[in-house]
Amino acid sequence: MKNSEEQQEQKRVDQVVSKLGTQIAKTAAEYDRARTETKNVQQNYSTNTSVNYFEVDDRIETSAELQQQRGLVSRLTENESILKRQLKTYQQLQKSPYFGRIDIVDPGETQPESLYIGTASFVDENGEFLVYDWRAPISSIYYNGTLGDVTYETPMGNQTTDLVKKRQFQINDGQIINMFDTNETVGDEMLQTVLGQQNDEQMQNIVATIQREQNDIIRDTTSDLLVVQGVAGSGKTSAILQRIAFLLYHSRDTLEADQIILFSPNKLFSHYISDVLPSLGERNMRQVTLAEFFDNRLKGLHVQTLFDRYESSEQLSAAEVAIDEVKESGAYMDTLTAYCDQLTAEELRFTHILFNGEIFFNKAEIQEIFAQWPTAKKVADRILATKNELIKRLKRRINQELDADWVNEEIDELSDEHYHELLGNKRLGDFQDEVTERKYIATKIVSARLRQVYDAIFNNNFLDPYLQYGDYLKQCPLLKQFSSQAYEQFNADIELHQIKLADSAPLLYLRDYICGSAQNQTMKYLFIDEMQDYSIAQLKYLRYAFPKTKWTLLGDSEQALFKNVEAPEALLTKLQTAFGTNKARLISLMRSYRSTYPIMTFAKSLLPNGDDIEAFNRPGELPKIIIDPTAEVAINSLKKEITNYLKEVKTVAVLTKNMTEAQQINAALAREFNSTLLQDADRTLPTGVVVLPIYLAKGLEFDAVVAWNVSQDNYSDQSLLGTLYTIITRAMHAISLISVGELSSLIANPHLALDQVRIQRELQK
Ligand SMILES: Nc1ncnc2c1ncn2[C@@H]1O[C@H](COP(=O)(O)OP(=O)(O)OP(=O)(O)O)[C@@H](O)[C@H]1O
């Protein structure tokens, strides 16, 4: 590339950076003003709230005024946070204003127009776009198009243009470090540079180097069910996050970040990805793990986590495995739906509503109410009608109570503040006379007292979902000879206030479906990362819980832990049937970016169809396999490997099959290396030596990985192939695998070429 051209580009960067400087100063001043204003109003507000109220009239007036002020404060805070976000965006742009340039000649034009693409738009005082947001319709050319005629989608329909140049930049602190012209979608040279850099503790955005297939995922706005099957390290998680940023931009008038929910594999992962959206000027979506989601909905029960499930999976009997398989199937949920639909008043497990230990509504009374609605109505509608009737009866009981002595006494003893609170939003003149006002207050007091009864009705506590689910287990045709074992096991768990993961989704579904409750109607997009860890039954429940959402499911069937793999097409068909949608799309990502070429080549050799995976051509050392005769010798090898790696990288991860192993290894390393054992509840990843079972490392990556004990004894079963493959593919730059005794035949298989690994064997005991 000509030097003068680079100089010209640098000149443009300088100009944009300087204009950004002016804009930053202006926005900073506006932000300061906004902050001062918010502070003043807030101060004023707190002075007002500390006023003493003596007269009823004052109380009412002040309450209305307070409401107004509260509204004002929230508007000002909103304005302030918009300015703060803008300021941050400009500051980020100032360091690296753009990463791409496209030159296009529109139909009828003769001169090309140069457009620069960055993480956000920047418009100068004349309204000229100095930088285009990567999500703008025109920017899709940068990711999708090779030189020549290209088409891109706009809100007004498809447009065609002639792409005559595509240039990539790497700009750090306002200086062009690298620039390339390319005819490819996004050239490999830039990708090489980005991927060669060492791991940061948190995931970075990839907008400068999004690949074509990833772009398809990111910009899909039509599918209701988008399933992405991508090999390890192919950028699935990255694609989700950029997709969320894209959707927020594309539908910015109708979509808020908290209408998007991401089910993530673990808490470490949530933290690991938490910077990506803010780095693109967007707020984070909601994030939850499946365990948290179930825990929240099954208060009072300890829900078995996926991790408990892994830990116990090796001890399950054949019958228990068979029972779980049924409970995780879509068919199980379908029979459950049919069961709920035909429940009669006698079959429904009603329970008393209690107040202070006494029966307030008897279950016979509740059953009678339910029975009076026509059987043609859906069970959920009849339950709703029952609920309304119960609330009506409760109100009657409240009215009967208003003149009771205890109520009068309580009113007389009310403090001013409390009285004011009870009045709530009521204004002066709302009451005709003092008697009405007193009745109003009395209703509040009695209602508060009977609140728990109201809550019990509202929360459908007049039905016992555990007994009902037990009934279902006893008669579920799919469980056949296992039904009494399944029933007893479930009951034994409930008695100990715990529930198996396999029972959680069906039980919740039964409870919520019968009551027609717990459906979130506002959530618009739902994302699941690591979908291979979800059962169809769980997905069906989530479908019920979020009925208005479009789904994006991402996973890698090869990374299924402790279970056999499933072909993506078969999964899509299953999901499509389960969801009843025809706007479904399957996208496969076969190219892997995370690991070096030697690591990925090694990982591929484990898989029967590994040849389909394309390893990105990034050089690195060959993986090392160390076979030691005893655990003691192996620990020494482990320490040597860690010491060597620590000379090069900040973090070394020792990955084990389960928590017990992780604890043992950490105990052996702690003194010398000050290592950290990571647990289920941990949210942040320290640097140094970290020891963790593989299920906690899902979705994460590390500069260097040591896999602990990949022996035949430890990994004998085919169902552990996914576990091994997941361990190996966590490594970005280097990996060593240590085996105590004979190496697992899952690794030492006919596909393993001996020149692709370094094998070190310790012979003497
Ligand atoms: N287009 C890209 N440009 C730059 N880096 C990329 C790109 N795609 C993926 N990467 C990098 O590759 C690594 C793996 O990406 P990511 O974690 O999104 O993959 P994944 O498919 O979710 O992996 P896994 O299923 O193994 O957890 C990350 O470091 C990511 O930044």
Q: 659 and 577 share a domain?
A: no
Mean pLDDT of 146-159: 87
Q: Which atom of ligand 1 is nearest to the CA of 559?
A: 25
Say if residue 488's pLDDT is above 60: yes
> If DSSP codes are grouped into helix, strand and coil, which group holds residue 580?
coil
Q: What is the pLDDT of residue 718?
A: 85
8 Å CB contact between 561 and 727: no
In a domain, 488, yes or no: yes
In a domain, 177, yes or no: no
In a domain, 149, yes or no: no
- Going across the sheet that includes 584-589, the strands are 286-288, 260-263, 525-528, 550-555, 225-230, 584-589
Q: 632 and 730 share a domain?
A: yes
Q: Ligand 1 centroid vs 208 CA: distance in angstroms?
A: 13
Q: Ligand 1 centroid vs 534 CA: distance in angstroms?
A: 21
List b or e across 75-88, with b for residues whose CB sees 16 or more CB atoms inside 10 angstroms: ebeeebeebeebbe
Mean pLDDT of 297-302: 89
Q: Ligand 1 centroid vs 307 CA: distance in angstroms?
A: 24
The response to whether residue 234 sits with its C-beta less than 6 Å from ligand 1 reads yes
Atom 13 of ligand 1: nearest residue by CA position: 594
The response to whether residue 540 sits with its C-beta less than 6 Å from ligand 1 reads no
Say if residue 455's pLDDT is above 80: yes
The response to whether residue 555 sits with its C-beta less than 6 Å from ligand 1 reads no
Q: How many C-beta neighbours within 10 Å does residue 726 have?
A: 23
For the segment 753-765, what is each residue's pLDDT rounded down to a tens digit? Answer: 778 888 887 655 5
Q: 307 and 433 share a domain?
A: no
Q: 450 and 471 share a domain?
A: no
Structural domains counted in the chain: 4
Q: Ligand 1 centroid vs 572 CA: distance in angstroms?
A: 23
Q: Which residues contact 570 (CB under 8 A, 6 or more apart)?
A: none
Q: What is the pLDDT of residue 414?
A: 85
Q: What is the pLDDT of residue 54?
A: 41
Q: 327 and 437 share a domain?
A: no
Q: Which atom of ligand 1 is nearest to the CA of 726?
A: 26
SS3 breakdown of the chain: % helix, strand, coil, rounded to 5?
Answer: 50, 20, 30
Q: What is the pLDDT of residue 57?
A: 45
Q: How many C-beta neighbours within 10 Å does residue 341 have?
A: 12
Q: Which atom of ligand 1 is nearest to the CA of 593?
A: 12
Q: Ligand 1 centroid vs 617 CA: distance in angstroms?
A: 14
The response to whether residue 213 sits with its C-beta less than 6 Å from ligand 1 reads no
Say if residue 613's pLDDT is above 60: yes
* Strand ranges (E), 369-476: none
Which residue ranges are tagged as binding site? 230-237
In a domain, 679, yes or no: yes
Q: 537 and 449 share a domain?
A: no
For the segment 515-533, what is each residue's pLDDT rounded down to a tens digit? Answer: 998 899 999 999 999 888 8
Say if residue 318's pLDDT is above 80: yes
Q: How confident is the model at residue 748 (pLDDT cuts 50, 70, 90)?
A: confident
Atom 18 of ligand 1: nearest residue by CA position: 235
Question: Is the model more confident about 763 or about 666?
Answer: 666
The response to whether residue 269 sits with its C-beta less than 6 Å from ligand 1 reads no
In a domain, 44, yes or no: yes
Query: Which among 165, 145, 276 is positioned nearest to 212, based on CA atoms?
Result: 145
Tokens read off for 677: 């054992």
> If DSSP codes are grouped into helix, strand and coil, which group holds residue 453?
helix
Count of residues for the chain? 765
Residue at a domain's end among 530, 554, 589: 589
In a domain, 119, yes or no: no
Q: Which atom of ligand 1 is nearest to the CA of 729?
A: 26
Query: Which among 707, 723, 599, 605 is positioned nearest to 654, based on CA atoms?
Result: 707
Mean pLDDT of 126-154: 90
For the segment 58-113, what is each residue's pLDDT rounded down to a tens digit? Answer: 444 556 666 677 777 778 888 888 899 899 999 999 999 999 999 999 998 989 99
Q: How confident is the model at residue 562 (pLDDT cuts 50, 70, 90)?
A: low
Q: What is the pLDDT of residue 63?
A: 60
696: domain CATH number is 3.40.50.300
In a domain, 205, yes or no: no
The response to whether residue 594 sits with its C-beta less than 6 Å from ligand 1 reads yes
Backbone angles phi, psi at 526, to 5 degrees: -130, 130
Q: Please state, in angstroms and rounded to a whole number, the distance separating the CA atoms of residues 556 and 551.
A: 17
Domain that holds residue 726: 597-761
The response to whether residue 211 sits with its C-beta less than 6 Å from ligand 1 reads yes
The response to whether residue 728 sits with its C-beta less than 6 Å from ligand 1 reads no
Q: Ligand 1 centroid vs 232 CA: distance in angstroms?
A: 8
Q: What is the pLDDT of residue 762?
A: 67
DSSP letters spanning 94-135: HH---SEEEEEE-TT--S-EEEEEESS-EE-TTS-EEEEETT
Which residue ranges are tagged as binding site for ATP? 230-237
Tokens read off for 108: 């009828």
Residue at a domain's end among 52, 80, 95: 95
Q: To 10 degrees, the CA torsion angle through 345, 349, 354, 358?
A: 90
Say if residue 187's pLDDT is above 80: no
User: Residue 630: CA atoms inside 13 Å, Cβ hemisphere, count?
Assistant: 4
Q: Which atom of ligand 1 is nearest to the CA of 208?
A: 3
Mean pLDDT of 334-349: 95
Q: What is the pLDDT of residue 713?
A: 93
Atom 16 of ligand 1: nearest residue by CA position: 235
Q: Ligand 1 centroid vs 308 CA: distance in angstroms?
A: 28
Q: 638 and 740 share a domain?
A: yes
Tokens read off for 5: 């051209």
Task: Please name the residue ranges forming H helices in 120-180.
Answer: 140-144
8 Å CB contact between 53 and 416: yes
Q: Please state, in angstroms and rounded to a whole number, the distance separating the CA atoms of residues 259 and 522.
A: 6
Q: Ligand 1 centroid vs 17 CA: distance in angstroms?
A: 30
Q: How confident is the model at residue 560 (pLDDT cuts 50, 70, 90)?
A: low
Say if residue 23's pLDDT is above 90: yes
Q: Which run of H or of E encompasses 366?
A: helix 363-371
Whole-angstrom CA distances from 691 to 656, 666, 686 are 8, 6, 11
Whole-angstrom CA distances from 292 to 147, 303, 539, 694 are 48, 9, 15, 20
Q: 525 and 654 share a domain?
A: no
Most confident of 173-187, 294-308, 582-596: 582-596
Q: 733 and 628 share a domain?
A: yes
Q: What is the pLDDT of residue 59?
A: 46
Q: 625 and 574 share a domain?
A: no
Q: Which atom of ligand 1 is nearest to the CA of 211?
A: 1
Q: How confident is the model at residue 361 (pLDDT cuts 50, 70, 90)?
A: very high
Q: Ligand 1 centroid vs 83 CA: distance in angstroms?
A: 32
- Residue pointed to by tokens 């009902």: 468
> Mean pLDDT across the chain, nearest whole number?
88
Question: Is the model more confident about 260 or about 559?
Answer: 260
Complex ipTM value: 0.98
Q: 482 and 535 share a domain?
A: yes
Q: Please state, in angstroms and rounded to a whole number, the distance separating the CA atoms of residues 276 and 170.
A: 18
Residue at a domain's end among 459, 493, 515: 459
Q: 338 and 395 share a domain?
A: no
In a domain, 88, yes or no: yes
Q: Ligand 1 centroid vs 734 CA: distance in angstroms?
A: 16
Backbone angles phi, psi at 284, to 5 degrees: -70, 150
Q: What is the pLDDT of residue 487?
A: 94
Query: Which of 594, 597, 700, 723 maximizes ligand 1 atoms within 8 Å of its Cβ, making it the mutation to test the pocket?
Result: 594
Query: Which of 142, 168, 206 maximizes ligand 1 atoms within 8 Å of its Cβ, making it the mutation to test the pocket?
Result: 206
DSSP letters spanning 198-251: PPPSS----GGG--HHHHHHHT--S-SEEEEEE-TTSSHHHHHHHHHHHHHHHT
